[in-house]
Amino acid sequence: MSTATAEAPIRQKKTARKIPDYLIYEVVRGKPIYYKGYKDVLNETKTFEEITIESVLSAWLKAQLIGLLYQSLSKDNYRLTVGEMGINLSRQDKRGADISIFKKENFKLVDKYSDLPPEIIIEIDVRAEVEDRHEMDYVAEKTDDYHKFGVKRIIWIFTKAKKVLSANAGQPWLMEDWSADIEIMDGLKFNVAEMVKSF
């Protein structure tokens, strides 16, 4: 007498999904930090362009600040970059900066990430996916990394919170409303609220 035996179901091992390199925004301590919203791209609910394109406000502020800097800074002493310029902080740390102000002698026009520190970096909002961390933890870590690399001053503009963080190396950091006058350097100031109001 033969008995029927049910075959045991074959269980397939779940493999981790490989995240494409183009979704990497920065590399910190050798580990990738992805663009904010990268999971939406993986799930095909958004395109890569949708998560990387800036808001009108962010792009406009960038343009206004660059205009102010070009008019005010000595062309003989400083060089400016805009648009997520790559910076090699070390072999394992690669960051992106919105607006960078370099001393002329620290600037090289090369087709790769900069190995030299800007004097000042201005960041507008957080573009990175912070996963389970608080966004301000990411801001603090990135700011500390910039200072260790030799950047003297970092200014963060947060458009949703309407706040501006000024962080000078070796000094207490200052968080202010964006109605405050923020000094970039040598008496050169901007006021986000006034800029928006004058629009």
Domain CATH number, residue 129: 3.90.1570.10
pLDDT score of 102 more than 70: yes
Give the pLDDT band of residue 180 (cuts 50, 70, 90).
Answer: very high
pLDDT value at 12 more than 80: no
Residue 167 backbone dihedrals phi, psi, to 5 degrees:
-130, 100
Q: Is residue 41 part of a domain?
A: no
Tell me whether residue 21 is in a domain. Answer: no
Long-range contacts made by residues 107-111, C-beta under 8 angstroms, separation at least 24?
107/79
**104-145 tens-digit pLDDT:** 999 999 999 999 999 999 999 999 999 888 999 999 999 999
Question: What is the structure's pLDDT at 4?
Answer: 47
**What is the pLDDT at residue 199?**
83
Q: What is the DSSP string of 11-55?
A: PPPPPPPPPPGGGEEEEETTEEEEBTTHHHHHTTSS-HHHHHSPP
Q: Cα separations (Å) of 11 from 14, 18, 115?
A: 9, 21, 49
- Identify the band that residue 98 occupies on the pLDDT scale cut at 50, 70 and 90: very high
Neighbours of 3 (CB within 10 A): 4
**What pLDDT sits at residue 1?**
47
Please give the pLDDT value at position 171. Answer: 96
> Per the structure, how many domains does the chain have?
1
Residue 169 makes CB contacts below 8 A (sequence gap 6+) with 147, 151, 152, 153
Q: What is the per-residue pLDDT across 20-34, written as a single tens digit (0 to 9) for each?
A: 999 999 999 999 999
pLDDT at position 2 is 45
Residue 164 lies in domain: 54-198
The residues with which 101 forms a beta bridge, in sequence order, are: 80, 120
Q: Average pLDDT for residues 148-166, to the nearest whole number?
A: 97
Quick one: average pLDDT of 183-198?
94
19 located within any domain: no
* Residue 11, domain member (yes or no): no
